[in-house]
Chain A
Amino acid sequence: AQSVTQPDIHITVSEGASLELRCNYSYGATPYLFWYVQSPGQGLQLLLKYFSGDTLVQGIKGFEAEFKRSQSSFNLRKPSVHWSDAAEYFCAVAASGGGADGLTFGKGTHLIIQP
């Protein structure tokens, strides 16, 4: 069974600084990988996804993520954060095979933006 680890529960970054949120996954085959963002009291918005091909994927709101198979990682990055980026970020993995494969989520990283 697949699993996702987000090692950082909270991260604080100054506005305008760069950001990297870590995500490690465990899955035997090539996974489908996702990053979602959740604002307080809101649903999940898909930031970006990786299925195959170029290991550096671009998403919405200026985010990007890099799939590194050797490290089983899919870290999320943004060169310059804005106060509106403060939210909860979830990394998720789905199996690449068939079956009733929903998404397996990490526990999330809470991003705090300092002025």
Chain B
Amino acid sequence: NAGVMQNPRHLVRRRGQEARLRCSPMKGHSHVYWYRQLPEEGLKFMVYLQKENIIDESGMPKERFSAEFPKEGPSILRIQQVVRGDSAAYFCASSPMQGTTGNTIYFGEGSWLTVV
């Protein structure tokens, strides 16, 4: 039973390029969360999605960042025109239902983005 799968695990981009991070939730999970972990910081909530819907994007930067979770395929976190400050670990989590029952929120192993 595969867990939350994230890829790539490590990604290097030059300033101005685009970064795409993918997340496949656990089987049977229809809710996906993205978190960002800056160096020496805890995880910060970015966005919460269900299939084809963005439920809460209150933690997403207003520009350059977008997320989707299509009917088919993985969830994608897209960062356009990356800057050095985007360098961070991006974690995806999934749950089978609305996240009040936190014991069902499972985290992936993260995608480490380095902007050079």
Interface residues of A (CB under 8 A from B): 4, 6, 32, 34, 36, 41-44, 46, 49, 51, 90, 92, 94-108
Task: Give the chain B neighbours of A90 by CB distance below 8 A.
Answer: 42-43
Interface residues of B (CB under 8 A from A): 33, 35, 40-45, 48, 55-56, 59, 91, 93, 98-103, 105, 107-110, 112
**Cα distance A2–B42 when bound, in Å?**
15
**Cα distance A98–B56 when bound, in Å?**
13
Asked if residues B45 and A103 are in contact (CB atoms below 8 Å), the reply is yes
Minimal beta-carbon separation of B76 from chain A (angstroms): 18
Task: Give the chain A neighbours of B98 by CB distance below 8 A.
Answer: 98-101
- Known contacts A43-B91, A43-B109, A94-B100; is-contact A102 B42 (Cβ 8 Å): no
Minimal beta-carbon separation of B94 from chain A (angstroms): 11
Task: Give the chain A neighbours of B108 by CB distance below 8 A.
Answer: 43
Task: Give the chain B neighbours of A95 by CB distance below 8 A.
Answer: 100
Give the 4 A-B residue pairs with the shortest CB-CB distance, closest first. Answer: A100-B56, A43-B109, A105-B42, A102-B45
